[in-house]
Amino acid sequence: MASESSDEGGNGYEPKILVFACNWCSYAGADLAGVSRLQMPANCRIIRVMCSARVRPEFVVTALSKGLDGVLVLGCHPGDCHYSEGNYFTRRRGLLLKNLLQFVGIEPERFQVRWVSASEGAKFADTVEQVTEQIRALGPNRPRSGNQSAEPGDR
């Protein structure tokens, strides 16, 4: 299948964005956006995790080094985590990871962490729209050194 992001030159560039959504808040928020028929750009692909804190920084680095244009991690609002404090880890890891991305020459804006609750279908749709446009504005992600990250089955 032709990848959308292969059309890098013209106006037809469609970024491909990986989204991690926690089961309890953000995935449910995304479901609510669907039930409410809120229309949004079709650039995001959600991977469901139980908690945003499950997202190992390596996943983000792997996704970006494989050429995906952006990674968005969504969790419950701080203080509202189903597991009490998972999203605090997400927040701290996110800040460090942004610094790391900048250090290795990847635009840190390609990686974003946002909070969306189960009742915030509209916020989910707005977030997808905003992040898609921000990443679209950055243009295609061109990782420098190909696929050097972990392959499935390495562990």
Partner 1 sequence: MPKTRVGVFVCHCGNNIGGVVRVPEVVEYARTLPNVACVEDNLYMCSEEGLSSIREQIAEHGLNRVVVASCTPRTHEPLFREACEEAGLNKYLFEFVNIREHCSWVHMHDPVMATEKAKELVRMGVAKARFLEPQEEFESSVFPAALVIGGGVAGMTAALGLANQGIQVHLVEREQELGGLIRGVRTLFPTGQASEEVLHPLAEQVRSHRQITVHLGSEVEDAGGFIGDFDVAVKADGQVNNLKVGAVIVATGAEELKPTGLYRYSELGNVVTQLEFEERFKGGADVPRNVVIINCVGARIAERTYCGRFCCTTAIKNAVWLKERDPEAGVFVLHRDVMAYGVQIEEFYRRAMELGVRFVRYDPENPPQILGTDGVDAVRVQHQLMGKEIVLPADLVVLTTPLVARDDNARLSKLLKVPLGGEGFFLEAHLKLRPVEFSTDGVYVCGSARYPANIPESVSQAYASAAKASIPIREGVVRAEAITALCDERTCSACGNCVEVCPFGAVELQEGSFGRTAQVNPAQCKGCGCCVAACPSGAMQQSGFNDRQLLSMIGALAEEMTGGVGE
Site residues (vs partner 1, CB under 8 A) = 1, 3-4, 14, 16, 18, 23, 27-28, 30-31, 33-35, 37-40, 42, 45-51, 53-59, 62-63, 66-68, 82-86, 89, 93, 125, 150-155
Q: With respect to partner 1, which residue has the nearer C-beta, 1 or 137?
A: 1
In the chain, where does DSSP find H-type helix? 26-35, 57-65, 86-103, 121-138
What is the nearest approach in angstroms of partner 1 to the Cβ of residue 137?
A: 19
Rounded CA separation 149/111 (Å):
17
What is the nearest approach in angstroms of partner 1 to the Cβ of residue 69?
A: 10
DSSP label at 42? Answer: T
Evaluate whether 9 touches 37 at the Cβ level (below 8 Å): no
Enumerate the β-bridge partners of residue 17.
Answer: 44, 70
What is the nearest approach in angstroms of partner 1 to the Cβ of residue 72?
A: 13
111 burial via Cβ count (<10 Å: 0-12, 13-18, 19+):
buried
What is the nearest approach in angstroms of partner 1 to the Cβ of residue 46?
A: 6
